[in-house]
Structure 1
Amino acid sequence: MNAILPSRPLSCALAIALALSALPAKAGCDQASSHRLHQIQGAGFQSPALKQTVSARGVVSALLYGKEGPVGFFMQEEARYQDADPATAEGIYVYTGRLALPPLKTGDVVAVRGKVLEFGRKGDARSETQLQPASADDVQACGIRGDLTPITLRLPLSGGAAQLEALAGMAVKFEQPLHVADSYNYGRYGELTLSSQARQWAPTQLYRPGSAEAQSLRAGNLRDRVLLDDGKTWQNADDWLPGPGGLSAGNTLRVGDRLEGLTGVVSFSNGAYRIQPLYPPRVSAANRRAAAPVRQPGLLRVASFNVLNFFNGDGQGGGFPTERGAKTHGDFLRQKAKVVGAIRQLDADVLGLMELENDGFGPRSAIVELLEALNAGLTADRQYHLVDPGLPRIGSDAITTGMLYRPSRVKPDGAAQALTVGDPGKNRPSLAQTFAVDGKRLTLVVNHLKSKGSSCDQLMANGVVDTDRGDGQGNCNLTRLQAALDLLKWAKRRGASDQEGLLLMGDMNAYAKEDPIRALEEGGLSNLLARFGKDAYSYVYQGESGNLDHALADAALGKWVADAGEWHINADEPAALEYGGEFKSAAQRQRYYAPDAYRSSDHDPLYVDLRLGPSGGAWR
């Protein structure tokens, strides 16, 4: 799109030249204005002229596009005609649909006659005031250029929704750098959540649930964000940032990346205020992709990885779509390549897995197919075996936990156990296996506690109904807490020894300051991500980052830990780069996909490096 015009009137000669060059001979404005735009918008969330037919004039700021061309445009009152009331917006959206319009571009003066309507989805608390012309003759290009002066807008917002409503339909500019906080809907809807902060934190990642600090952070996060749209009305359009060329597997746009020079128009649709861009902002990679965490010689690496519904159908190329995961066998092969690539680069000696298809341990099972793909081409000393607890399946859920290990590095000591933790109808069993390592014993427990996504209000935990308390911990917190307490009881029964260490890893579905993690810490386990780093996160949800995935060690194992952390290959990446073909054109399926580790899942994997040799020396 063209750049915004300077805020001064054009000379008469230049206006005439533009008119003659850009407009048909009969074009012009012969409509008398009945209203100024601020009179149509009013000072509230709905127009005082609702359902009236009005005439108004303004300067085109941005056009909104459908697949076949413009479906509407925003126009703004010139500065000299604006009122002094900051609560009344000086812009409006003109919905034209399929009407044949004169050619329009940013800066053109237009006259419009149309009906004033409020457009919003059923159930939305707010709507967008629109002018809807009845015919193409109701939109007239005046043949002159006008004064379009963007309003400077800053984050965090000072007035929330009311502040944006007062700018509805108006051009705004951000003179501060903004950062990507969330890109989950970027591929399908062209939406990016932006913030002035490089990262927005989940309140219960940093503060106790329900505390004044957590509530303040939540409110601050909401004020310090704005939704950037793509100026298009259809789904699955080609993603336009970053330039040049837009999004691709090798040209990603990660959470934390910086945008500068954002200028656009405030609009409201699909339940949210958003910025429709006048032209692309400048993007810089402020959060570059990281290579796999360096592994020091002689250390034993234990890792955990939520592999995002790894379902292999019937194990013979059929059985798709599955209950979860890939819709086609082709998509599953793409998923498998990414997961295998990530695991190989992690280079773990023992690996805990979550979200595997719960179809047992037979030759056609998901975990065996993953195992065989991992081992293909590896030398014998780097190959894996699976941990089999001797059960047909682990639990009754569609997904389950799993464990792989390298026999060249560790030896199983005793049988694996599937531990019932919390309500067995909600929490998946945890998988525990002890390994012998150079005179010591390491017990790994892989966990995947109940998610926050569905209600537990029909359950009782210690005599209390497990409802969402509104304290930021979401659904099923008491169910997860009971699972954590059961893990502690099991750990206490097995006893403790200086030569036997316990490591709990996996997707706990609870952030760092929530009750289940606090219970594990108060029960004597050390939070390794907090110990060996700061600002831990493994997941981004609705623009807020935190670690749902945890690694916790007892006192014995804590003495052996040399390093621990996350590998940020997934949480920061756009969901469009996942393996799946849904909501993508054939070209996008090619451009967005690479058989690499990035966006192989929605959770980042964790690693813990252990020094297990005699007297604290290197294990070999």
Structure 2
Amino acid sequence: MRSKKICDMAVRAALMAVVCVGAALAVAAQREMAISAIQGSSNMSSVMGERVRAQGVVTALHRTGFFIQTPDDRTDDDPLTSEGVFVFTRTAPPKEAAIGNLVSVTGTVEEYRPRNEPNTLPLTEISMQAGRDSVKVISGGNPLPKPVELTPGHFESNKIDQLERYEGMRVYVAAMTVVAPTGGRVDIATSRSASNGVFFGVLKGIPRPFREPGLDIFDIVFLKDTEKEALQKNFPNLPIFDGNPQKIRVESLGQIGGTAIEAAANTEIADLTGVMHYAFRNFTLLVDADSKHKQSSTIKPVPMPEPKAGQISVASINLENFFDDHDDPKIKEPVVTKEAFAGRLKKISLAFRDVLTLPDVIGVAEAENLAGLKRLAEAINRDAVSSGKPDPQYEAFLEDGNDGRGIDNGFLVKTAKLRVVEVKQFGKDEKYKHPRTGESVHLNDRPPLMIRVVTRNTGGDFGLTVFANHLKSFLGYNDPNQRDNVRMKKRLQAEYLAKIVQERQKADPKERIIVLGDMNAYQFNDGVLDLLGIITGKPAAKDAVFNFSPDIVEPDLINLVDVIDASQRYSYTYDGNAQVIDHFLISVTLRDHISGFGYARVNADHPDSYRNDTNRPERFSDHDAAVAYFSMTPVR
């Protein structure tokens, strides 16, 4: 879902007011108020800052508080006012807050926003102060209020606050489709993941949400009217992305005593009940601790086709923190245990053999060093022979860069089929001036690495020039203290890469060029930058992007993601959105040779807990691999 105009924002006017939490002084007297009156019909409570007393049935327990909701026979029957509210206790809830207890609580009404995330909808809560406020039990064993059933009709484009009316209330989802798998917290040293129980879903029948062109709506709605008018005047064609408010964030461990739901994308979950919360810019379902939901069987990876006779396959993959078990005193890298590193070699080898089907050239990102990459090549070669396949004779190539953690770009080349002609790193010593400090700093943390290969024993050489890349991440992209530098660096990196490509095209118009890797950018203009437009030679216009770049590349490169089915245009999931950040670009000299392209679905759709099982290929990384097939004779 996407909004096309800055002014087309379906967010209530009350949200636009600048309100400081705690600006109003809490008075000594307590106002007895219904929960619906505290919540009101807008995003901001009209009694914010006031000390109140409210009654409700305890419906859920959270590690920092609990939820109460008005009994069904006492509601105000207004569909725009929520009958539930979060009571913030800072620590575990008191014993009086037992589920089913009808309680009376006192506290100050606040609109909570995380300090590091000011551009987000507020969460209305009753904040208790130790030694002043209390929870008193009126009765126990009360039935919980009937949950509201969510339906597709509750969701519309651009309405980021559409579930505000149910904030703090019990809700029910009859059928949900998972769109981003359960995540986790990874210990790099042990290569183990602890589930966080968080996944994203949509109601059954709603399409999967994808990242779309444009500036994030949350970076627009909180601006002053004068700032919005200036944007409309200076950037009339600036696209706006509505954040896909049709998705629901689900915390299966959100309630005390909950059990983690491990779910892959496309899993269907039925009969899900919980409390509607708000966190991380998403309405969030905190699943009941005693959930009786039903879950469909999970998906399995589908192997990519093996290259046919006369074809060359080329792949790109971010290995995600591929550190080895040796301590390098020159860098501050995590040191992986010997057992964990052996497990990673086994798991990646399994994926490369059985899912990627042993591509002829593999461009990799986030490899610590050449020694570790060589050990991976040896493991794949050994495992291939042990499983009855021909020895691919992979050889590893890597050049150290400038990354603070020591991760670099590299290649694995199947030398049984291809001969390496040249390996060259570009721009390791390139500098730019930091916009805030004026210091001269490295432009390329992970400099582009080029490899030239030709076929063996085919009766005629077929050569490819491949660039492996890993551009600056989004970290700090919207941070007021970092964004000037981050955005400049990303733009300059893209322009630098575009200039390299253009120089080679100009020097040899017949050279077959591939530019691949983790670009940390989408295939379109995100409103701030259009990095892929810069690299391919199709940059966004000045009135459509904050940071404009001129057209550097001619003829344009072709982004292969644009030629596959729209439902397959993703290599990664973030914040519940399927998105492409791993790209595969080709020169026009390869247009008549491309015979296939796709992403190996082995990581992005699978729960992070799968990385703990070294006997399965799924989740050896958080990125899917891009794989392209080229015919040595023109197919068009």
| Residue type at the aligned position of 1:347 | T
TM-score normalised by L of structure 2: 0.70
Alignment of 1:567 onto 2:578 = no
Whether the 8 Å CA contact 1:264–1:277 is kept in 2: the answer is yes
Deviation at 1:604, TM superposition (A): 1.0
In 2, the alpha carbon distance for the partners of 1:168 and 1:98 equals 21
In 2, the alpha carbon distance for the partners of 1:95 and 1:513 equals 41
* 1:19-58 alignment runs, 5 A limit: 34-43=32-41, 45-46=44-45, 48=47, 50=49, 52=51, 54=53, 56-58=54-56
Cα displacement string for residues 287-319 of structure 1 (whole angstroms, at most 9, x for unaligned residues): 7222211225423322222211322143xxx55
Cα displacement string for residues 364-387 of structure 1 (whole angstroms, at most 9, x for unaligned residues): x12222222222244494232426
In 2, the alpha carbon distance for the partners of 1:418 and 1:373 equals 26
- Structure 1: any 5+ residue segments left out of the alignment? 1-31, 242-246, 248-252, 458-464, 470-474, 579-591
Alignment of 1:489 onto 2:499 = no
In 2, the alpha carbon distance for the partners of 1:205 and 1:594 equals 39
Question: Which structure would you say has the larger Rg?
Answer: 1
Alignment of 1:224 onto 2:236 = no
Out of 71, 86, 104, which is 1:93 matched to?
Answer: 86
Whether the 8 Å CA contact 1:352–1:506 is kept in 2: the answer is no
Q: 1:115 to 1:546 in 2, by over 3 A?
A: closer
1:543 is matched with: 576
- Structure 2: any 5+ residue segments left out of the alignment? 1-29, 186-193, 217-230, 432-441, 479-483, 538-553
1:288 is matched with: 299
Q: 1:533 to 1:38 in 2, by over 3 A?
A: closer
TM-score normalised by L of structure 1: 0.71
Q: 1:116 to 1:169 in 2, by over 3 A?
A: same
Q: 1:178 to 1:610 in 2, by over 3 A?
A: closer
In 2, the alpha carbon distance for the partners of 1:529 and 1:494 equals 25
* 1:310-459 alignment runs, 5 A limit: 310-314=322-326, 323-324=332-333, 327-345=336-354, 346-357=356-367, 359=369, 361=370, 365-379=371-385, 381-386=390-395, 388=397, 393-397=399-403, 398-412=406-420, 414-420=421-427, 423=430, 425-427=442-444, 428-437=447-456, 438=458, 439-454=460-475
Q: 1:199 to 1:165 in 2, by over 3 A?
A: closer
Deviation at 1:93, TM superposition (A): 3.2
| Residue type at the aligned position of 2:351 | A
Query: Which consecutive segments of 4 or more residues in structure 1 shift more than 6 A?
Result: 133-137, 210-214
| Residue type at the aligned position of 2:353 | R
* 1:595-610 alignment runs, 5 A limit: 595-610=615-630
Alignment of 1:511 onto 2:522 = yes
Q: 1:213 to 1:200 in 2, by over 3 A?
A: farther
Deviation at 1:599, TM superposition (A): 0.9
| Residue type at the aligned position of 2:506 | K
Out of 202, 220, 225, which is 1:195 matched to?
Answer: 202
Alignment of 1:80 onto 2:69 = no
Alignment of 1:139 onto 2:136 = yes
Q: 1:564 to 1:175 in 2, by over 3 A?
A: same
1:460 is matched with: none
Out of 491, 497, 501, which is 2:512 matched to?
Answer: 501
Cα displacement string for residues 94-152 of structure 1 (whole angstroms, at most 9, x for unaligned residues): 457567636944xx451324334538444565344226496999432525645723334
Alignment of 1:173 onto 2:172 = yes
Out of 563, 569, 586, which is 1:531 matched to?
Answer: 563
Whether the 8 Å CA contact 2:426–2:448 is kept in 1: the answer is yes
Whether the 8 Å CA contact 2:347–2:616 is kept in 1: the answer is yes
Whether the 8 Å CA contact 2:209–2:244 is kept in 1: the answer is no
Whether the 8 Å CA contact 1:313–1:321 is kept in 2: the answer is no
Q: Kindly tell me the number of residue pairs found equivalent between the two proteins.
A: 521
Q: 1:504 to 1:86 in 2, by over 3 A?
A: same
Out of 305, 312, 315, which is 1:303 matched to?
Answer: 315
Q: SS of 1:610's equivalent?
A: strand
In 2, the alpha carbon distance for the partners of 1:141 and 1:127 equals 26
| Residue type at the aligned position of 2:147 | P
In 1, the alpha carbon distance for the partners of 2:376 and 2:430 equals 29
In 1, the alpha carbon distance for the partners of 2:555 and 2:599 equals 24
Q: SS of 2:578's equivalent?
A: strand
RMSD of equivalent CA atoms: 4.1
In 2, the alpha carbon distance for the partners of 1:53 and 1:516 equals 51
Q: 1:223 to 1:212 in 2, by over 3 A?
A: farther
Q: 1:477 to 1:230 in 2, by over 3 A?
A: same
Q: What is the identity percentage for the equivalent residue pairs of Structure 1 and Structure 2?
A: 20
In 2, the alpha carbon distance for the partners of 1:98 and 1:556 equals 64
Whether the 8 Å CA contact 1:352–1:505 is kept in 2: the answer is no
Whether the 8 Å CA contact 1:357–1:400 is kept in 2: the answer is yes
Q: SS of 1:89's equivalent?
A: coil
Q: SS of 1:333's equivalent?
A: helix
| Residue type at the aligned position of 1:341 | L
Alignment of 1:520 onto 2:530 = no
Deviation at 1:567, TM superposition (A): 0.2
Alignment of 1:554 onto 2:587 = yes
In 2, the alpha carbon distance for the partners of 1:436 and 1:510 equals 32
| Residue type at the aligned position of 2:110 | E
Deviation at 1:76, TM superposition (A): 1.8
In 2, the alpha carbon distance for the partners of 1:405 and 1:178 equals 39
Deviation at 1:43, TM superposition (A): 5.0
Q: 1:377 to 1:576 in 2, by over 3 A?
A: closer
Deviation at 1:611, TM superposition (A): 2.8
Q: SS of 2:314's equivalent?
A: strand
Deviation at 1:531, TM superposition (A): 3.1
Whether the 8 Å CA contact 1:76–1:92 is kept in 2: the answer is yes
Q: 1:421 to 1:72 in 2, by over 3 A?
A: closer
Q: 1:199 to 1:451 in 2, by over 3 A?
A: farther
| Residue type at the aligned position of 1:575 | D
2:148 is matched with: 151
Cα displacement string for residues 540-566 of structure 1 (whole angstroms, at most 9, x for unaligned residues): 222222222222333443333322211
Whether the 8 Å CA contact 1:193–1:226 is kept in 2: the answer is yes
